[in-house]
Chain A
């Protein structure tokens, strides 16, 4: 009985595993595939799933003409760049301080900063909106980015990266005459390059996709990012049909999605590196 069961189990289970894993994978990409299907069909045929229906690029033309997409793309690009530059600068300096300096109040301050992991910017939209307006940053790219620049997550990440740099490297640089900032720039920043890459990928994909806060602090097309533009474009009130919405959706997610498919390994590594504390 067992002699019979064991080889059977060995051959049947991997096959079942493969089928199960593939089924789930297909279910998981199905929404994307349907959008892909519909985006290239006429609106009448978009939901028909009739293989013989003709292909068309018209939906993309209609979608492209329906909103200032180049401006939205530029706004999103500028936004993620500004946020990343701010995060790199602020989190590098603060991470360096927490990793290598001892100063009074350091540990209390660090716990205070970690609290921000739970005080989500999303939850504070009302008062952050008031603060951004007070500072005269309403409807500016800097205003959208400011609440995310000093990220507790980034400070923590850089601190960990700097802490793992051997202190001998720093001492060697000191002997050669580097000052505090010189050591940071010549020793720590180059040593933490993989962490920067990971942080950049996580940050860019997070803010490329962010919606609620940009919705709240923008009111003109000259600052609105893609996500807000897409939500306005696809709103049921606008009366756009599903084929055109699919085309617009594919357009907005294309850069990030293509980037992900090409640099898959790096993206997944990045999320891992950033997530494991």
Chain B
């Protein structure tokens, strides 16, 4: 005969599963199944009316690797990540230090830094047209004061990706600032007093005391920034459409283009699989780090 406790435990298990089922169904439909199907689809050729699709192994990947656009787009995205991540994180830290110090108009300064976070990328891109328009834009007007000619910032090879990067940094820095601001406010004021008594200057305090204490926040922000360097591509639709000649094309935009403009789903699936693999590595590293942190605590 089953004891009361056993019976109770079974009921708990049943309720537990019932409660998670709705979420699990939707997650399976829109995250797990699509991820698995993507990997599977990347192994098949594109079916046409006359020729049904067939298993081709890694042919789609080979085609991808031999496509010069692939190298260009991956390189662009690496530059995009290598520029946006450190620059926006450093600006965010500076903003947080300022927004946390006793300066006049702190409320306005804080709001100003955070405002871009509240705007859609599409709107941000529209706003930045004011800077990038040749001749009439803000940047060209300023450079004209120093005698420079007009520059087609969005339309030429050398500057298109840089212009896109600047918009992303502008959009993201204020968001990351928030996390630093919160972390700074948890540092006990005694530490600062002690440091001052010991004769530590501002730089010493920031470098030796504040920054080490901000490390967990920095890690969190870095992971977010890394994910965003894959995700934030909306402004390309307004500013450059990946051009000129792929100069500012990023991976996710390329996936969209392959699937919804060129209808080349196998290529899009192969590229998506590669992105998922990169994200899985990031996830694995983060989980390991978190586990270690929990251990030490």
Contacts and interface: CB of A to CB of B under 8 A. Distances in A.
Contacts of B29: 131, 135, 146
Contacts of B103: 14, 17-18, 21
A29 B24 contact: no
Interface in B231-272: 231, 233-234, 237-238, 252, 255-256, 259-260, 265, 268-269, 272
Contacts of B38: 124, 126-127
A69 B275 CA distance: 36
Given A21-B98, A272-B178, A101 B123 contact: no
Contacts of A13: 202
Interface in A91-118: 91, 93-94, 96-98, 101-104, 106, 109, 111-118
A275 B114 CA distance: 15
B133 interface: yes
Interface string A250-268: 0011001100110010011
A17 B231 contact: no
Contacts of A231: 122, 237-238
A4 B114 CA distance: 39
B163 interface: no
Interface in B94-153: 94-95, 98-99, 101-105, 107-124, 126-131, 133, 136-138, 141
B63 interface: no
B27 A150 contact: yes
Interface stretch (B11-19, B50-58, B73-81, B205-213): B11-19
A28 B26 CA distance: 39
A161 interface: no
Contact of B130 (A31, A124, A126, A129): A31
Given A122-B231, A211-B121, A231-B122, A38 B109 contact: no
Contacts of B30: 121, 124, 128, 131, 146-147, 150
B227 interface: yes
A152 interface: yes
A13 B205 CA distance: 15
A87 to B, nearest CB: 10
B290 to A, nearest CB: 9
A47 interface: yes
Contacts of B119: 209, 253, 256-257
Interface residues of A, number: 95
A117 B283 contact: yes
B256 A125 contact: yes
A102 B10 CA distance: 10
Contacts of A103: 12-17
Please report whether the interface of chain A is mostly helix, strand, loop or mixed according to DSSP. Answer: helix
Contacts of A205: 117-118
Contacts of A209: 118-121, 123
B203 to A, nearest CB: 11
Nearest to A234: B126
Indicate the member of B25, B30, B101, B202 with the most A CB atoms within 10 Å. Answer: B30
Interface string A155-187: 100000000000000000000000010000000
A31 B170 contact: yes
B280 A118 contact: yes
Interface string A16-50: 01101110111011111011001000000001010
A113 B32 CA distance: 9
Interface in A126-153: 126-131, 135, 146-147, 149-150, 152
B33 interface: yes
B170 to A, nearest CB: 7
Indicate the member of B19, B102, B131 with the most A CB atoms within 10 Å. Answer: B19
Contacts of A150: 22-27, 30
Nearest to A147: B30
Given A116-B31, A208-B120, A127 B37 contact: yes
Given A256-B118, A276-B179, 4 more contacts: A47-B133, A102-B13, A127-B33, A127-B272
